[in-house]
Amino acid sequence: MSDTFLSLEEMAELSGIRTGRNGKSREALQVEWLRKVGIPFWTNARGRPIVARVSIEGRSPGAAAEPPRPAWTPRVLSGR
């Protein structure tokens, strides 16, 4: 698997849903739960919810590649 998306096991751990019940599949229940809690996801062709790791880790997708920019300060306050 890749580090970009959560694995099946990680998705089960995050949602607490490991099996289907009440006539619904595991994937359908996980999709309902993700919508309820507001975690962004995609659904693949098999109906499996795909969650990007960055959406639950609290960092932006380009955070590691791009260093933070210094904050803008007006010249009047910067002493130049």
Residue 58 pLDDT > 80: no
Q: Where are the alpha helices (DSSP H) in the chain?
A: 8-15, 26-37, 54-57, 75-78
Is 0.75 surpassed by the pTM of this model? no
Query: pLDDT exceeding 70 applies to what percent of the chain?
Result: 84
Q: Give the three-class secondary structure for 14.
A: helix
Q: Summarize the chain as % helix, strand, coil (round to 5).
A: 35, 10, 55
